[in-house]
Amino acid sequence: MEEKVSQLRSRLAEWYDLRKAAAVLHWDQQTYMPPEGIQARGQQIGTLLRLAHQCFTSDEMGRLLDELKPYASQLPPDSDEARLIKVTARHYDKDTRVPPEMVVELAELTAAGFAAWQTARAKSKFAIFQPHLEKIIDNRRRFAALFAPYEHVYDPLLDEYEPGMKTAQVQAIFSALRPQQVELIRAVTSRPQVDDSFLHQHYGEQEQWNFGVEVVTKFGYDWQRGRQDRAPHPFTTSFAIDDVRITTRFLTEYVGSAIFSTMHEAGHALYELGFDHALDRTPLADAASLAVHESQSRMWENLVGRSLPFWQHFYPRLQEIFPSQLGNVDLHTFYKGINRVEPSLIRVEADEATYNLHIMLRLELEIALMEGALEVKDLPEAWNARMRDYLGLTPPDDARGVLQDIHWSDGYFGYFSTYALGNLISVQLWERINAEIPDLTGQIRSGKFSALLGWLRENVHRHGAKFEPVELVKRVTGSEIDPAPYMRYLKTKYSAIYGL
């Protein structure tokens, strides 16, 4: 069996290398590639991902897994090897179920759909995007049907991003959360608004870069194993456990963008840098799920980076770098400003208190579309109705409403809820960490993050994708994914800021 495991590892290493090579090409495309390189780059990434898929779904892989599954069941269930075989078999079963033609069809539909979405958004005309979206949804419904029987037609889509999670679980979580968040926002918006005008001044790009680098270096981001580059949309990408890179962008008229985005991406990167090297070049050298990934980015961005102790340490430094902009803004004014709550139309600009409502709205619409309970042509109206209910706002046009996100044009159905679940998980972990590191607040106030990072590495990062997200959260916190800690956190934080 050792020989079989070694054969499995060798095939997986090939698959892994091809995917990581594609990641390098994609990173280059987003950072440095000259414009005319785009056509060839698409072909190259396509070839690499096609070969990776062929390698992973090969008959030889199937035979190896069939031979190894009985062996795996005799191993300690939490051992790397048992998990490797289990997770690989799970991916194999899913990937071989989908006919290549369906994948090609989706690629074609989304290529056309993305172009149509861009035009539709520019003209703020949903009708331009509608026929494309109908075809994409039809493709996704046929995809889901491949996995019948299921509890819910949306389950197979969700499973793409949150292995093992069910639609009913997510619905239950969000049903508990929604009324409390709506109530909190009503309470906050009934209070006098806090000032954040000082954030909207001219802030030099190089100074912003330097401050961000200083912060994430203190977080523990290792520049021997990563780097930062500029990109139009910030992202994190991993080429190896020892090469995980972040990107950022700068708004010279708003200092909040780069600061929090840099911490967010560093949070993602610290996760992938923490994978156990024993998992290298296998499907286990990956995040447990997108929600767990997002729990890490949100933790460093929000629970650390928007906290008062963090700024007790870093604010004097920021004032030193930007004396004319912030010299006369005291710490508490600054802290309140970066935590200003304001219902808004655009998800990516939303604050911590309102963000999840943007997600719930999308999840409900996706489920209704997949169920057939909502037709695509009625989507703008359904969108706007929920915006009024949840945030009290009416989009003035489709561009600032149903057309704002890229995800649907790319076929990413099932993705959105991972953002909100990540928020919830981040606070569940945070409560646990604070129980185990009683002095955490004091450490953050001193600009020390090594105990926090050490805890995350030991309890979350090193496991990679060994455990499904629900299992991981249970192992670490003893609990299911639970919205209560998140609501406690929001209420405590905003009660202080808004004097509720």
Q: Which CB, 247 or 418, lies closer to a second copy? A: 247
> What residues are annotated to the active site?
265
From candidates 113, 156, 163, 226, binder to a second copy by CB under 8 A = 226
The correct pick among 4, 5, 11, 51 for binding a second copy (CB under 8 A) is 51
100 interacts with a second copy by CB under 8 A: no
Strand-pair partners of 244? 238
Question: Does residue 206 bind a second copy (CB under 8 A)?
Answer: no
Question: Which residues 6+ apart lie within 8 Å of 92 measured at CB?
Answer: 56, 57, 61, 62, 65
Which range, of 33-41, 80-88, 145-153, 422-430, touches a second copy by CB under 8 A?
33-41
β-pair partners for 248: 230
* 227 vs 377 by CB, closer to a second copy: 227
Q: Nearest distance from residue 284's CB to a second copy, in Å?
A: 15
Q: Does residue 260 bind a second copy (CB under 8 A)?
A: no
Report the C-alpha gap between 142 and 102 in whole angstroms. Answer: 9
Distance CA 337, CA 352 (A): 13
| Among 111-119, 129-137, 216-224, 320-328, the segment contacting a second copy (CB under 8 A) | 216-224
Which stretch in 124-132, 236-244, 328-336, 396-404 sits in contact with a second copy by CB under 8 A? 236-244
Query: Are the CB atoms for 297 and 268 separated by under 8 Å?
Result: yes
* Token output for 488: 């406690």
Binder of a second copy out of 2, 3, 6, 34 (CB under 8 A): 34
The interface with a second copy within residues 272-301 (CB under 8 A) comprises: 280-281
CB of 108 to a second copy, least distance (A): 18
Strands 228-230 and 243-248: parallel
Tell me the H-state helices in 404-468: 417-436, 440-445, 450-459
Q: Is 410 in the site for a second copy (CB under 8 A)?
A: no
Closest by CA to 127, choosing from 400, 411, 395, 380, is: 380
- Residue 373 in the binding site for a second copy (CB under 8 A): no
On whether the CB atoms of residues 185 and 353 are closer than 8 A, the answer is: yes
DSSP states along 177-198 = HHHHHHHHHHHHHTSPPPP-GG
How many CB atoms are located within 10 Å of the residue 406 CB?
13
Phi and psi torsions of 243, nearest 5°:
-150, 85
Dihedral sign of CA atoms 48, 53, 55, 56 in order: positive
268 interacts with a second copy by CB under 8 A: no
Least Å distance, CB 41 to a second copy, is 7
Binding residue for a second copy, selected from 6, 39, 190, 324, defined by CB under 8 A: 39
**Helices 256-273 + 450-459 axis angle, to 10:** 50
Beta-ladder partners of 236: 246
Q: Give yes or no for a contact between 231 and 212, defined as CB atoms under 8 angstroms apart.
A: no
Taking the complex as a whole, the smallest distance from the CB of residue 190 to a second copy amounts, in Å, to 50
Of 17-25, 253-261, 296-304, 435-443, which segment contacts a second copy by CB under 8 A? 17-25
Nearest to 177 by CA among 486, 384, 393, 479: 486
**Matching residue, tokens 């995917």:** 19
Q: Which residue in 8, 9, 12, 25 binds a second copy (CB under 8 A)?
A: 25
Position 107 contacts a second copy (CB under 8 A): no
Q: Is 37 near a second copy (CB under 8 A)?
A: yes
**Does the protein bind a second copy through residue 197 (CB under 8 A)?**
no
Shortest reach from residue 230's CB to a second copy, in Å: 12
- Using DSSP, state whether 228 is helix, strand or coil: strand
CB of 240 to a second copy, least distance (A): 3
List 5, 7, 11, 14, residue binding a second copy (CB under 8 A): 14
Interface with a second copy, residue 190, by CB under 8 A: no
Q: Which of 192, 224, 478, 499 binds a second copy (CB under 8 A)?
A: 224
18 contributes a contact to a second copy by CB under 8 A? yes
Tell how strand 243-248 and strand 236-240 pair up. Answer: antiparallel
Applying CB under 8 A, which part among 35-43, 290-298, 314-322, 452-460 lies near a second copy? Answer: 35-43
Residues 120-149 that bind a second copy (CB under 8 A): none
* Size of residue set near a second copy by CB under 8 A: 39
Alpha carbon 78 to chain centroid, angstroms = 26
Determine the Cα–Cα distance for residues 386 and 437; give it in Å rounded to an integer. Answer: 41
Asked if 28 touches a second copy (CB under 8 A), the answer is: yes
Q: From CA 259, how far away is CA 318, in angstroms rounded?
A: 10
* Binding of residue 243 to a second copy (CB under 8 A): yes
Cα atoms in the Cβ-side hemisphere of radius 13 Å centred on 267: 26
* Residue with tokens 């309970």, as numbered in its chain: 373
* Binding range to a second copy, per CB under 8 A, among 29-37, 141-149, 210-218, 406-414: 29-37
Residues linked to residue 389 through DSSP beta bridges, in sequence order: none
Give me the residues that bind a second copy (CB under 8 A), please. 13-14, 17-18, 20-22, 24-25, 28, 32-37, 39-41, 43-44, 47-48, 51, 222-227, 229, 239-243, 245, 280-281
